[in-house]
Amino acid sequence: MRKYLGYLRGPLPVTHTDEKQGYCRLIYTRPADFKGILIFQLSPGTVASGTKPANQRYDIWQRISYTVSTMNSKYVLTGGPGAGKTTLLNRLAARGYRVVPESARQIIRARLSLELPPRPEPTSFANEILRKDIAQYRRYNAGGDGPVFYDRGVLDALYMLDATPALSRTSISSYVGEFDYNRLVFLLPPWRDIYCTDSERDQTFEEASTVFEGMKRWYTLWGYRAVEVPRIDVGRRCDFILDAVKQASGGLQR
């Protein structure tokens, strides 16, 4: 089911309803080589007819996510810059977990080494991030035991492209469906006490806070459950994330 989980988002045409029992049967045909029928329980009062409006799709998606999200071991850490993601991921790596570095910082570092400006124009930068994020996503599709923690994900690049706007929401929805992560996403809030700039991070604290709020809205829009990581020391932040993953998956493997 994990392979096809992303294709359940978006308008879902109803082919059969049984409102008395509180169930709605939906049929989906993406990707082209797969067709199936699923049964989803609806909230009381939900009208099951026609194409579901956005608020009702969200309700159905939430119910799906709680049922099958444990099958996806890709976890995203996101938020604004300078919130402690890299430090936290380094600690997770030290404990033996697989981590994936942020694409944007890799691109900026490479450009600086060539004595270029840190970033190209926004659309080119976002597209380059997207290409790297997709490559890193696919690198871990071969399997392996235990969770994989990503310093930002494909959705972060799509957020940038939506702001440009260089992609339609239809195209974005297709990407979101293909490159899905565990529904539980970890959001690191702005933290003035640890915030600092460097050669690869030149945003102000206020700009970083704006990015955080945007990421929170963006992941929620696409059906993810954003959990804020507390402003505590990195060891306890690590424990917080691993405990949440353990509860979501029913266990942990390195």
Provide the residue type at 85 as one letter: K
**Domains (range + CATH), the chain:** 2-69 (no CATH), 72-249 (3.40.50.300)
pLDDT at 103 over 50: yes
**pLDDT for residue 43:** 41
Q: Are 197 and 82 in contact (CB under 8 A)?
A: yes
pLDDT digits (tens, 9 = 90+) for 32-82: 433 343 444 444 333 333 334 334 433 344 344 434 444 688 999 999 988
pLDDT digits (tens, 9 = 90+) for 118-152: 888 889 999 999 999 999 999 887 556 789 999 99
Q: How far apart are CA 82 and CA 85, in angstroms?
A: 7
pTM assigned to the model:
0.71
**pLDDT for residue 118:** 81
Find residue 227's DSSP bridge partners.
Answer: 186
Residue 40 vs residue 90, higher pLDDT: 90
pLDDT > 70: percent of the chain: 68
Instruction: Please spell the DSSP secondary structure of 40-97, one letter per residue.
Output: EEPPTT----SBPPHHHHHHHHHHHHHHHGGG--EEEEEESTTSSHHHHHHHHHHTT-
**pLDDT for residue 142:** 53
**Peptide bond between residue 118 and the one before it cis (omega within 30 degrees of 0):** no
Burial class (CB in 10 A: 0-12, 13-18, 19+), 178: middle
**pLDDT for residue 4:** 31
**pLDDT for residue 249:** 74
**pLDDT for residue 127:** 95
The 10 Å Cβ neighbour count of residue 8 is 22
pLDDT digits (tens, 9 = 90+) for 10-22: 334 333 333 333 3
**pLDDT for residue 71:** 60
Mean residue pLDDT across the chain: 76
Residue 32 vs residue 202, higher pLDDT: 202
Across 37-41, 154-158, 182-186, 214-218, least confident range: 37-41
* DSSP SS3 for 217: helix
**pLDDT for residue 119:** 84
